[in-house]
Structure 1
Amino acid sequence: MRLKAALFDLDGVIIDSEKLYTVFWNDIEQMYPTGIPDYAVAIKGTTLPEILSHYPTEDIKQDITRRLYEFQDNMRFPLIDGAVAFLEKLRANGIPRALVTSSDARKMRCLKSQLPELLELFDVVIDASKVTRSKPDPQGYLIAAEALGVKPEDCVVFEDSINGLKAGRASGAGVVALATTYPAETLAPLADKVIESWAQLDIEF
Protein backbone atom coordinates (compact mmCIF):
# COMPACT_ATOMS: atom_id res chain seq x y z
CA MET A 1 0.00 0.00 0.00
CA ARG A 2 1.29 3.46 -0.93
CA LEU A 3 0.36 6.70 0.83
CA LYS A 4 1.06 10.42 0.63
CA ALA A 5 -0.48 11.30 4.00
CA ALA A 6 -1.60 9.31 7.05
CA LEU A 7 -4.68 10.01 9.19
CA PHE A 8 -4.95 8.26 12.54
CA ASP A 9 -7.67 7.60 15.06
CA LEU A 10 -6.44 7.66 18.68
CA ASP A 11 -8.12 5.09 20.94
CA GLY A 12 -7.45 1.55 19.80
CA VAL A 13 -4.98 2.76 17.16
CA ILE A 14 -2.33 4.76 19.01
CA ILE A 15 -3.29 4.20 22.65
CA ASP A 16 -4.59 0.93 24.08
CA SER A 17 -7.68 2.29 25.80
CA GLU A 18 -10.72 0.77 24.11
CA LYS A 19 -11.11 -2.08 26.60
CA LEU A 20 -11.18 0.46 29.44
CA TYR A 21 -13.87 2.48 27.68
CA THR A 22 -15.91 -0.65 27.01
CA VAL A 23 -16.04 -1.39 30.75
CA PHE A 24 -16.88 2.23 31.55
CA TRP A 25 -19.74 2.52 29.04
CA ASN A 26 -21.15 -0.90 29.93
CA ASP A 27 -21.35 0.33 33.53
CA ILE A 28 -23.13 3.50 32.37
CA GLU A 29 -25.58 1.39 30.37
CA GLN A 30 -26.38 -0.54 33.54
CA MET A 31 -27.09 2.70 35.40
CA TYR A 32 -28.95 4.50 32.62
CA PRO A 33 -30.27 1.96 30.10
CA THR A 34 -30.69 3.27 26.55
CA GLY A 35 -31.95 0.04 25.02
CA ILE A 36 -29.32 0.29 22.28
CA PRO A 37 -27.93 -3.20 21.56
CA ASP A 38 -24.23 -3.62 22.36
CA TYR A 39 -24.18 -0.04 23.58
CA ALA A 40 -20.47 0.25 24.39
CA VAL A 41 -19.66 -1.06 20.92
CA ALA A 42 -22.26 1.04 19.10
CA ILE A 43 -20.91 4.35 20.40
CA LYS A 44 -17.22 3.71 19.70
CA GLY A 45 -15.72 6.53 17.68
CA THR A 46 -18.49 9.04 18.40
CA THR A 47 -18.19 12.34 20.27
CA LEU A 48 -19.50 12.99 23.77
CA PRO A 49 -22.34 15.28 22.56
CA GLU A 50 -23.47 12.50 20.23
CA ILE A 51 -23.38 9.99 23.08
CA LEU A 52 -25.26 12.30 25.45
CA SER A 53 -28.02 12.76 22.88
CA HIS A 54 -29.19 9.24 23.82
CA TYR A 55 -30.21 10.36 27.32
CA PRO A 56 -33.47 12.12 28.21
CA THR A 57 -32.59 14.58 30.99
CA GLU A 58 -29.91 17.14 31.77
CA ASP A 59 -29.33 15.57 35.19
CA ILE A 60 -28.41 12.25 33.59
CA LYS A 61 -26.20 13.93 31.01
CA GLN A 62 -24.38 15.90 33.69
CA ASP A 63 -23.85 12.81 35.83
CA ILE A 64 -22.46 10.83 32.91
CA THR A 65 -20.18 13.71 31.94
CA ARG A 66 -18.91 14.00 35.51
CA ARG A 67 -18.23 10.26 35.68
CA LEU A 68 -16.49 10.28 32.30
CA TYR A 69 -14.24 13.21 33.20
CA GLU A 70 -13.33 11.60 36.51
CA PHE A 71 -12.54 8.35 34.68
CA GLN A 72 -10.40 10.10 32.07
CA ASP A 73 -8.63 12.38 34.54
CA ASN A 74 -7.35 9.28 36.35
CA MET A 75 -6.69 7.27 33.22
CA ARG A 76 -3.29 6.08 32.06
CA PHE A 77 -2.58 6.06 28.33
CA PRO A 78 -0.64 2.92 27.38
CA LEU A 79 0.71 3.06 23.84
CA ILE A 80 -0.05 0.30 21.37
CA ASP A 81 3.15 -1.53 20.43
CA GLY A 82 4.65 -0.23 17.21
CA ALA A 83 2.49 2.88 16.87
CA VAL A 84 5.17 5.42 17.79
CA ALA A 85 7.80 3.64 15.69
CA PHE A 86 5.50 3.82 12.66
CA LEU A 87 4.77 7.52 13.26
CA GLU A 88 8.49 8.21 13.53
CA LYS A 89 9.10 6.31 10.29
CA LEU A 90 6.46 8.40 8.53
CA ARG A 91 8.03 11.61 9.83
CA ALA A 92 11.50 10.50 8.73
CA ASN A 93 10.13 9.91 5.22
CA GLY A 94 8.38 13.28 5.07
CA ILE A 95 4.85 11.84 5.14
CA PRO A 96 2.29 14.30 6.61
CA ARG A 97 0.41 12.96 9.64
CA ALA A 98 -2.87 13.93 11.30
CA LEU A 99 -4.65 12.71 14.41
CA VAL A 100 -8.44 12.59 14.02
CA THR A 101 -10.16 11.73 17.28
CA SER A 102 -13.59 12.02 18.86
CA SER A 103 -11.87 12.89 22.16
CA ASP A 104 -12.68 16.28 23.64
CA ALA A 105 -10.24 19.02 24.65
CA ARG A 106 -10.15 17.93 28.29
CA LYS A 107 -9.03 14.42 27.44
CA MET A 108 -6.47 15.78 24.99
CA ARG A 109 -4.98 17.91 27.76
CA CYS A 110 -4.67 14.79 29.93
CA LEU A 111 -3.00 12.96 27.05
CA LYS A 112 -0.58 15.82 26.44
CA SER A 113 0.37 15.98 30.11
CA GLN A 114 1.22 12.26 30.13
CA LEU A 115 2.65 11.86 26.62
CA PRO A 116 3.74 15.30 25.37
CA GLU A 117 6.10 13.77 22.82
CA LEU A 118 3.28 11.79 21.20
CA LEU A 119 1.31 14.78 19.94
CA GLU A 120 4.51 16.26 18.53
CA LEU A 121 4.54 13.40 16.01
CA PHE A 122 1.43 14.84 14.31
CA ASP A 123 1.33 17.84 11.99
CA VAL A 124 -2.39 18.34 12.61
CA VAL A 125 -4.68 17.33 15.48
CA ILE A 126 -8.45 17.27 14.89
CA ASP A 127 -10.39 16.63 18.09
CA ALA A 128 -14.10 16.87 18.90
CA SER A 129 -13.90 20.66 19.20
CA LYS A 130 -12.94 20.94 15.51
CA VAL A 131 -15.97 19.12 14.08
CA THR A 132 -19.73 19.50 14.10
CA ARG A 133 -20.50 15.96 12.93
CA SER A 134 -19.29 12.80 14.63
CA LYS A 135 -17.95 9.64 13.01
CA PRO A 136 -19.21 7.81 10.95
CA ASP A 137 -19.51 11.17 9.18
CA PRO A 138 -16.21 11.80 7.34
CA GLN A 139 -16.00 15.48 8.34
CA GLY A 140 -13.01 15.05 10.66
CA TYR A 141 -10.97 13.22 8.05
CA LEU A 142 -11.87 15.71 5.34
CA ILE A 143 -10.82 18.61 7.59
CA ALA A 144 -7.55 16.84 8.37
CA ALA A 145 -6.73 16.20 4.72
CA GLU A 146 -7.41 19.84 3.87
CA ALA A 147 -5.25 21.01 6.78
CA LEU A 148 -2.39 18.83 5.54
CA GLY A 149 -2.82 20.18 2.02
CA VAL A 150 -3.55 16.81 0.43
CA LYS A 151 -6.51 15.25 -1.34
CA PRO A 152 -8.49 12.71 0.71
CA GLU A 153 -7.90 10.06 -1.93
CA ASP A 154 -4.14 10.44 -1.40
CA CYS A 155 -4.51 9.62 2.31
CA VAL A 156 -4.66 6.39 4.26
CA VAL A 157 -6.88 6.29 7.35
CA PHE A 158 -5.94 4.02 10.26
CA GLU A 159 -8.95 3.03 12.38
CA ASP A 160 -10.17 0.32 14.73
CA SER A 161 -13.91 1.03 15.14
CA ILE A 162 -16.86 0.44 12.84
CA ASN A 163 -17.88 4.10 12.96
CA GLY A 164 -14.31 5.21 12.29
CA LEU A 165 -13.85 2.87 9.35
CA LYS A 166 -17.10 4.07 7.83
CA ALA A 167 -15.90 7.65 8.22
CA GLY A 168 -12.58 6.85 6.58
CA ARG A 169 -14.26 5.08 3.69
CA ALA A 170 -16.75 7.91 3.18
CA SER A 171 -13.89 10.43 3.02
CA GLY A 172 -12.51 8.75 -0.09
CA ALA A 173 -9.26 7.73 1.59
CA GLY A 174 -7.71 4.31 1.69
CA VAL A 175 -8.56 2.50 4.92
CA VAL A 176 -6.47 0.22 7.13
CA ALA A 177 -8.23 -1.46 10.05
CA LEU A 178 -6.45 -2.48 13.23
CA ALA A 179 -8.05 -5.52 14.84
CA THR A 180 -7.44 -4.25 18.36
CA THR A 181 -11.10 -3.78 19.25
CA TYR A 182 -13.05 -6.01 16.83
CA PRO A 183 -12.26 -9.35 15.18
CA ALA A 184 -10.54 -9.06 11.81
CA GLU A 185 -13.47 -10.70 10.01
CA THR A 186 -15.82 -7.99 11.31
CA LEU A 187 -13.56 -5.23 9.99
CA ALA A 188 -12.62 -6.74 6.63
CA PRO A 189 -15.70 -5.56 4.66
CA LEU A 190 -15.01 -1.96 5.73
CA ALA A 191 -11.28 -1.80 5.03
CA ASP A 192 -8.75 -2.17 2.23
CA LYS A 193 -6.46 -4.01 4.61
CA VAL A 194 -6.78 -5.46 8.12
CA ILE A 195 -3.81 -5.89 10.43
CA GLU A 196 -3.56 -7.46 13.87
CA SER A 197 -0.62 -5.25 14.88
CA TRP A 198 1.56 -2.45 13.51
CA ALA A 199 4.29 -5.02 12.81
CA GLN A 200 2.13 -6.48 10.03
CA LEU A 201 1.86 -3.22 8.09
CA ASP A 202 3.63 -3.01 4.72
CA ILE A 203 3.65 0.57 3.43
CA GLU A 204 5.45 2.11 0.45
CA PHE A 205 6.56 5.74 0.44
Structure 2
Amino acid sequence: MKESKTIAALFDFDGVVMDTETQYSIFWGEQGRKYHPELPGFDRLIKGQTLVQIYDKYFAGMEEAQTQIRKDLDLFEMNMTYDYIPGVLNFIDDLKKHDVKLAVVTSSNTKKMENVYRSHPELPQLFDSIVTANQFKESKPNPECFILGAEILGATPGDSYVFEDSFHGLKAGNAAGSTVIGLATTNPREAIEGKAHYIIDDFKGFTFEKLVEVKA
Protein backbone atom coordinates (compact mmCIF):
# COMPACT_ATOMS: atom_id res chain seq x y z
CA MET A 1 0.00 0.00 0.00
CA LYS A 2 1.41 3.39 -1.04
CA GLU A 3 2.04 5.72 1.88
CA SER A 4 0.32 9.10 1.56
CA LYS A 5 2.47 12.20 1.37
CA THR A 6 2.66 14.65 4.23
CA ILE A 7 1.30 18.03 3.19
CA ALA A 8 2.74 20.97 5.09
CA ALA A 9 1.61 24.58 5.42
CA LEU A 10 4.39 26.98 6.37
CA PHE A 11 3.21 30.38 7.60
CA ASP A 12 5.30 33.47 7.94
CA PHE A 13 4.16 35.27 11.08
CA ASP A 14 4.03 39.06 10.71
CA GLY A 15 1.53 40.06 8.06
CA VAL A 16 0.40 36.46 7.58
CA VAL A 17 -0.78 35.10 10.93
CA MET A 18 -0.82 38.42 12.80
CA ASP A 19 -1.59 41.89 11.48
CA THR A 20 1.57 43.58 12.75
CA GLU A 21 3.35 44.93 9.68
CA THR A 22 1.87 48.41 9.86
CA GLN A 23 3.23 48.70 13.40
CA TYR A 24 6.71 47.56 12.35
CA SER A 25 6.61 50.01 9.46
CA ILE A 26 6.21 52.81 12.00
CA PHE A 27 9.13 51.57 14.14
CA TRP A 28 11.56 50.92 11.29
CA GLY A 29 10.50 54.06 9.48
CA GLU A 30 11.64 56.01 12.54
CA GLN A 31 14.97 54.13 12.65
CA GLY A 32 15.52 54.84 8.98
CA ARG A 33 14.89 58.56 9.38
CA LYS A 34 17.20 58.64 12.41
CA TYR A 35 20.12 56.55 11.16
CA HIS A 36 19.75 56.32 7.38
CA PRO A 37 17.98 59.41 6.02
CA GLU A 38 19.68 58.69 2.70
CA LEU A 39 17.55 55.53 2.34
CA PRO A 40 13.90 56.50 1.84
CA GLY A 41 11.45 53.69 2.51
CA PHE A 42 13.84 52.02 4.96
CA ASP A 43 10.96 50.11 6.58
CA ARG A 44 10.26 48.37 3.26
CA LEU A 45 13.92 47.51 2.67
CA ILE A 46 14.24 45.45 5.84
CA LYS A 47 10.96 43.49 5.73
CA GLY A 48 11.39 39.73 6.08
CA GLN A 49 14.92 40.00 7.49
CA THR A 50 16.18 39.02 10.91
CA LEU A 51 17.51 41.66 13.27
CA VAL A 52 21.01 40.23 12.86
CA GLN A 53 20.73 40.53 9.10
CA ILE A 54 19.50 44.13 9.41
CA TYR A 55 22.42 44.95 11.69
CA ASP A 56 24.98 43.30 9.39
CA LYS A 57 23.69 45.10 6.30
CA TYR A 58 22.75 48.54 7.62
CA PHE A 59 24.37 48.99 11.05
CA ALA A 60 27.74 47.25 10.75
CA GLY A 61 30.23 48.76 13.20
CA MET A 62 27.50 50.92 14.78
CA GLU A 63 27.49 49.21 18.18
CA GLU A 64 25.79 52.04 20.06
CA ALA A 65 23.03 52.26 17.46
CA GLN A 66 22.53 48.48 17.56
CA THR A 67 22.22 48.53 21.35
CA GLN A 68 19.73 51.40 21.30
CA ILE A 69 17.63 49.84 18.53
CA ARG A 70 17.50 46.52 20.39
CA LYS A 71 16.39 48.29 23.56
CA ASP A 72 13.77 50.35 21.71
CA LEU A 73 12.53 47.34 19.74
CA ASP A 74 12.12 45.22 22.87
CA LEU A 75 9.97 47.93 24.44
CA PHE A 76 8.03 48.47 21.21
CA GLU A 77 7.23 44.76 20.83
CA MET A 78 6.10 44.50 24.44
CA ASN A 79 3.47 47.14 23.74
CA MET A 80 2.40 46.00 20.28
CA THR A 81 -1.10 44.72 19.58
CA TYR A 82 -1.31 41.27 18.04
CA ASP A 83 -4.49 40.76 16.04
CA TYR A 84 -5.05 37.73 13.84
CA ILE A 85 -5.27 38.22 10.08
CA PRO A 86 -8.98 37.85 9.17
CA GLY A 87 -10.00 34.24 8.53
CA VAL A 88 -6.68 32.65 9.52
CA LEU A 89 -8.06 30.75 12.52
CA ASN A 90 -10.86 29.16 10.48
CA PHE A 91 -8.37 28.30 7.75
CA ILE A 92 -5.98 26.66 10.24
CA ASP A 93 -8.86 24.64 11.68
CA ASP A 94 -9.85 23.48 8.18
CA LEU A 95 -6.28 22.41 7.40
CA LYS A 96 -6.11 20.40 10.61
CA LYS A 97 -9.29 18.56 9.66
CA HIS A 98 -7.51 17.46 6.49
CA ASP A 99 -4.37 16.31 8.36
CA VAL A 100 -2.16 19.09 7.04
CA LYS A 101 0.93 19.70 9.18
CA LEU A 102 1.35 23.32 10.25
CA ALA A 103 4.34 25.48 11.15
CA VAL A 104 5.12 29.13 11.67
CA VAL A 105 8.41 30.01 9.98
CA THR A 106 9.43 33.48 11.06
CA SER A 107 12.42 35.81 11.06
CA SER A 108 11.33 36.88 14.55
CA ASN A 109 13.43 35.70 17.47
CA THR A 110 12.36 33.75 20.55
CA LYS A 111 12.11 36.83 22.77
CA LYS A 112 9.68 38.53 20.38
CA MET A 113 7.54 35.39 20.18
CA GLU A 114 7.36 35.24 23.98
CA ASN A 115 5.68 38.66 23.84
CA VAL A 116 3.16 37.20 21.39
CA TYR A 117 2.47 34.21 23.64
CA ARG A 118 1.61 36.53 26.51
CA SER A 119 -1.11 38.05 24.36
CA HIS A 120 -2.11 34.76 22.72
CA PRO A 121 -1.21 31.77 24.94
CA GLU A 122 -3.18 29.56 22.56
CA LEU A 123 -0.84 30.23 19.62
CA PRO A 124 1.70 27.40 20.17
CA GLN A 125 -1.15 24.85 20.23
CA LEU A 126 -2.37 25.99 16.81
CA PHE A 127 0.80 24.77 15.10
CA ASP A 128 2.87 21.61 15.09
CA SER A 129 6.04 23.70 15.19
CA ILE A 130 7.15 27.31 15.46
CA VAL A 131 10.47 27.93 13.72
CA THR A 132 12.21 31.17 14.73
CA ALA A 133 15.33 33.01 13.62
CA ASN A 134 17.29 31.29 16.39
CA GLN A 135 17.00 27.98 14.52
CA PHE A 136 18.46 28.86 11.12
CA LYS A 137 21.60 30.62 9.92
CA GLU A 138 20.50 32.26 6.68
CA SER A 139 17.50 34.57 6.62
CA LYS A 140 15.00 35.13 3.83
CA PRO A 141 15.33 35.38 0.82
CA ASN A 142 17.51 32.32 1.46
CA PRO A 143 15.17 29.28 1.47
CA GLU A 144 16.87 27.58 4.45
CA CYS A 145 14.08 28.42 6.91
CA PHE A 146 11.31 26.92 4.75
CA ILE A 147 13.37 23.84 3.92
CA LEU A 148 13.94 23.39 7.67
CA GLY A 149 10.24 23.93 8.42
CA ALA A 150 9.21 21.27 5.93
CA GLU A 151 11.80 18.85 7.29
CA ILE A 152 10.60 19.33 10.88
CA LEU A 153 7.06 18.49 9.78
CA GLY A 154 8.19 15.39 7.87
CA ALA A 155 7.37 16.87 4.47
CA THR A 156 9.34 17.88 1.41
CA PRO A 157 9.47 21.51 0.23
CA GLY A 158 7.68 20.38 -2.92
CA ASP A 159 4.75 19.10 -0.86
CA SER A 160 4.62 22.32 1.18
CA TYR A 161 2.62 25.51 0.81
CA VAL A 162 4.34 28.71 1.89
CA PHE A 163 2.25 31.70 3.00
CA GLU A 164 4.13 34.99 2.73
CA ASP A 165 3.63 38.73 2.42
CA SER A 166 7.14 40.18 2.07
CA PHE A 167 9.30 40.21 -1.05
CA HIS A 168 12.11 38.41 0.78
CA GLY A 169 9.69 35.75 2.02
CA LEU A 170 8.10 35.21 -1.38
CA LYS A 171 11.55 34.76 -2.93
CA ALA A 172 12.50 32.28 -0.20
CA GLY A 173 9.36 30.21 -0.72
CA ASN A 174 9.94 30.02 -4.45
CA ALA A 175 13.61 29.18 -3.98
CA ALA A 176 12.61 26.32 -1.66
CA GLY A 177 10.52 24.83 -4.47
CA SER A 178 7.24 25.20 -2.60
CA THR A 179 3.85 26.41 -3.75
CA VAL A 180 3.72 30.04 -2.65
CA ILE A 181 0.54 31.81 -1.55
CA GLY A 182 1.06 35.57 -1.41
CA LEU A 183 -0.88 37.74 1.01
CA ALA A 184 -1.55 41.31 -0.08
CA THR A 185 -1.42 42.55 3.51
CA THR A 186 1.90 44.38 3.37
CA ASN A 187 2.33 45.02 -0.34
CA PRO A 188 -0.45 45.58 -2.91
CA ARG A 189 -1.48 42.77 -5.23
CA GLU A 190 0.16 44.36 -8.25
CA ALA A 191 3.49 44.51 -6.41
CA ILE A 192 3.55 40.76 -5.65
CA GLU A 193 1.97 39.65 -8.93
CA GLY A 194 4.23 37.04 -10.51
CA LYS A 195 6.03 36.40 -7.22
CA ALA A 196 3.43 33.92 -5.91
CA HIS A 197 1.41 31.09 -7.42
CA TYR A 198 -1.78 32.54 -5.95
CA ILE A 199 -2.63 35.79 -4.15
CA ILE A 200 -5.20 36.42 -1.42
CA ASP A 201 -6.11 39.57 0.52
CA ASP A 202 -6.66 37.56 3.72
CA PHE A 203 -7.89 34.08 4.64
CA LYS A 204 -11.63 34.79 4.65
CA GLY A 205 -13.31 32.15 2.51
CA PHE A 206 -10.02 30.38 1.74
CA THR A 207 -10.22 26.62 2.34
CA PHE A 208 -8.22 23.43 2.06
CA GLU A 209 -10.09 22.57 -1.14
CA LYS A 210 -9.12 25.89 -2.72
CA LEU A 211 -5.55 25.49 -1.53
CA VAL A 212 -4.93 22.13 -3.17
CA GLU A 213 -6.23 23.48 -6.48
CA VAL A 214 -3.22 25.83 -6.57
CA LYS A 215 -0.30 24.27 -8.41
CA ALA A 216 3.32 25.38 -8.34
* TM-score with structure 2 setting the length: 0.90
Q: Which residue in the other structure is 1:113 paired with?
A: 118
1:91 and 1:121 in contact (8 A); partners too: no
- Kindly report structure 1 stretches of 4+ aligned residues shifted beyond 6 Å: none
Q: Which residue in the other structure is 2:3 paired with?
A: none
Aligned length: 203
The Cα shift of 1:34 comes to: 6.3
1:4 and 1:154 in contact (8 A); partners too: yes
2:92 alignment partner, SS class: helix
The match for 1:43 among 39, 43, 46 is: 46
The match for 2:86 among 81, 84, 103 is: 81
2:50 and 2:108 in contact (8 A); partners too: yes
1:27–1:132 Cα change, 3 Å: same
Distance 1:7 1:100 in 2: 6
Q: Which residue in the other structure is 1:12 paired with?
A: 15
2:49 and 2:168 in contact (8 A); partners too: yes
Q: Which residue in the other structure is 1:23 paired with?
A: 26
Q: Which residue in the other structure is 1:142 paired with?
A: 147
The Cα shift of 1:36 comes to: 3.5
Query: What amino acid sits opposite 1:93 in the alignment?
Result: H
Report which of the two structures shows the higher radius of gyration computed on alpha carbons.
2
The Cα shift of 1:39 comes to: 1.3
Query: What amino acid sits opposite 1:9 in the alignment?
Result: D
The Cα shift of 1:38 comes to: 2.1
Q: Which moved more, 1:179-188 or 1:29-38?
A: 29-38
Distance 1:153 1:35 in 2: 41
The alignment status of 1:203 with 2:211, answered yes or no, reads yes
**Superposed counterparts of 1:35-74, under 5 Å:** 35-53=38-56, 54-55=58-59, 56-74=61-79
**Superposed counterparts of 1:176-195, under 5 Å:** 176-195=181-200
The Cα shift of 1:203 comes to: 2.1
Deviations 1:3-55 (CA, angstroms, capped at 9, x unpaired)? 92100000000100000000110001111116344211111110000111211
For structure 1, which runs of at least 5 residues remain unmatched after alignment? none
Distance 1:103 1:23 in 2: 17
2:88 and 2:204 in contact (8 A); partners too: no
Deviations 1:125-144 (CA, angstroms, capped at 9, x unpaired)? 11010011111111110001
Deviations 1:131-188 (CA, angstroms, capped at 9, x unpaired)? 1111111111000101111110000100000000000000000000000010101111
Q: Which moved more, 1:28-37 or 1:55-64?
A: 28-37
Percent identity for Structure 1 against Structure 2: 37
2:157 and 2:177 in contact (8 A); partners too: yes
Q: Which residue in the other structure is 1:172 paired with?
A: 177
Deviations 1:46-87 (CA, angstroms, capped at 9, x unpaired)? 000011121131001000111111100111211111011111
Query: What amino acid sits opposite 2:34 in the alignment?
Result: M
The match for 2:130 among 125, 129, 135 is: 125
* TM-score with structure 1 setting the length: 0.95
Taking only aligned residues, the RMSD between alpha carbons, in angstroms, comes to 1.4
For structure 2, which runs of at least 5 residues remain unmatched after alignment? 1-5
The Cα shift of 1:124 comes to: 1.2
